[in-house]
């Protein structure tokens, strides 16, 4: 029974933190930045390090280029 509770708790924590981990990608898609694919790749592969996550977030919130 305890293993089942631990598994459920782990799943809840994982699904609760996933949106926070992918916050830069979510922001980029909602803002329709032109480099949202790059933000996703950096977030996916380097987001585990704080520096990679901050770089992806900075790319997501930077000013859009006007045409």
Residue-wise pLDDT tens digits, 52-61: 999 999 999 9
CA distance 15 to 66: 37
Compute the distance between CA of residue 48 and CA of residue 21 in angstroms, rounded to an integer: 8
* Residues contacting residue 47 through CB under 8 Å, at least 6 positions apart: 21, 22, 24, 53, 56
Q: What is the mean pLDDT of the chain?
A: 89
In the predicted structure, residue 8 carries a pLDDT above the cut 90: no
Stretch 24-37: mean pLDDT: 94
pLDDT mean over 34-50: 94
């Amino acid at each position: 029974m305890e293993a089942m509770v631990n598994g459920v708790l782990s799943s809840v924590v994982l699904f609760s933190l996933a949106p926070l981990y992918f916050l830069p990608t979510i922001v980029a898609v909602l803002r329709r930045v032109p480099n949202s694919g790059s933000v996703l790749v950096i977030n996916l592969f380097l987001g585990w390090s704080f520096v990679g996550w901050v770089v992806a977030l900075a790319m997501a919130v930077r000013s859009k280029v006007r045409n």
